[in-house]
Structure 1
Amino acid sequence: MQTIRNKHWAYLTLFYIRVIWILLHLGLLSYEYKGNTENLFLILFTCLIAGVLPQFVWFYYEDRKPWLYPVVELVISGLFFIYSSYVMDLYFSYLAIPAMCAAATIHTQRLRIPLWIWFSVLPAIAMTIVLPVSSYNISIIEGFLFFGLGTIIWKVIDTQRKMQELLEENDKQRQVLEQYAKQVEKITLLEERNRLSRELHDTVGHTLTSVIMGLDAMSFLIREEPEEALQNVKQLSRISREGLEEVRRQIHHISPLKEDESISTQLKRIADEFSLSTGTKIKLDVNGTNLTVHPQISLILVRCLQESLTNAKRHGKADHIDILFDSNPNQLSLTIRDNGCGMDDVVFGFGLSSMRERIETYQGTLEIDSIAGKGTTVVCQLPYKIGKAG
Structure 2
Amino acid sequence: MTAPAVPPSDTPPDRLAAARTDDLRELLGHLTTSWDDDRRLLARKLHDTIGSSMTALTMHLHLLNAQLPKEQALLDRTAQMKQLLQTLITTNREMQVALWNDKLEFLGLRAAISEAVDQFREQHGLVTRVSLPEHDTSYPRLQGVALLRCLEEGLRNIAAHAHATEVDVILDDDGDQVTLTVRDNGVGIDASVLAAADRHGLRALRERAAYLGGRLTAAPAPHGTVLTLTLPRDDAAGGALSAA
In structure 2, the partner of 1:360 is 210
Contact map agreement 1:361 1:389 (CA 8 A) in 2:
no
Task: Tell me the percent identity.
Answer: 25
1:317 maps onto 2:173 in alignment: no
Counterpart-to-counterpart distance in 1, 2:36 and 2:135 = 31
- Which of 131, 137, 142 in structure 2 is aligned with 1:285? 131
Q: Distance in 1 between the 2:121 and 2:153 partners?
A: 14
Question: Residue 33 of structure 2 corresponds to which residue in structure 1?
Answer: 188
Q: Which has the higher contact order (CA 8 A, sep 6+)?
A: 2
The counterpart of 2:97, out of the listed 252, 277, 288, is: 252
Q: In the alignment, residue 349 of structure 1 is paired with which amino acid?
A: R
**Secondary structure of the corresponding residue to residue 220 of structure 2:** strand
Letter in 2 for 1:382: L
Q: What TM-score do you get using the length of structure 2 for normalisation?
A: 0.56
- 2:91 and 2:225 map into 1 onto residues whose CA distance is 23
* Equivalent pair of 1:323/1:337 in contact (CA under 8 Å): yes
In structure 2, what residue type is equivalent to 1:254? Answer: L
Q: Does the 8 Å contact 1:363/1:382 carry over to 2?
A: yes
For the 8 Å contact 1:257–1:299, the answer to whether it is kept is: no
2:190 to 321, 344, 354: 344
Query: Aligned equivalents of 2:37 and 2:149: distance in 1?
Result: 10
Q: 1:344 to 1:182 in 2, by over 3 A?
A: closer
Contact in 2 for aligned 1:288/1:327 (Cα 8 Å): no
Deviations 1:187-243 (A, max 9, x none): 3344898xxxxxxxxxxxxxxxxxxxxxxxxxxxxxxxxxxxxxxxxxxxxxxxxxx
Q: Which amino acid aligns with 2:228?
A: V
1:243-264 deviation line (CA, Å, top 9, x unaligned): xx99976642311233221211
For 1:388, the equivalent position in structure 2 comes to 237
Alpha-carbon contact 1:266-1:302 (below 8 Å) kept: yes
Structure 2 letter corresponding to 1:252: V
- Any gaps of 5 or more consecutive residues in structure 2? 1-24, 39-89, 240-244
Residues in 2 aligned to 1:183 and 1:344: alpha-carbon distance in whole angstroms: 27
Residue 149 of structure 2 is aligned to residue 300 of structure 1: no
| Bigger fraction of residues in helix | 1
Q: Structure 1 pair 349/183, CA: closer, same or farther in 2 (3 Å)?
A: closer
The CA deviation at 1:183 is: 8.2
Can you give the 5+ residue segments of structure 1 that lack an aligned partner in the other structure? 1-179, 194-244
Kept after mapping to 1: 8 A contact 2:189/2:219: no
* Aligned 1:194-205 pairs, distance under 5 A: none
Larger Rg: 1
Partners of 2:166 and 2:185 within 8 A in 1: yes
**Relative to structure 1, is the Cα distance of residues 328 and 291 closer, same or farther in structure 2, using a 3 angstrom cutoff?**
farther
Compute the displacement of 1:275 (Å).
1.1
Q: 1:364–1:381: 8 Å Cα contact kept in structure 2? A: yes
Aligned 1:10-89 pairs, distance under 5 A: none
Q: Distance in 2 between matches of 1:365 and 1:181?
A: 15
Write the letter of the residue equivalent to 2:139.
V
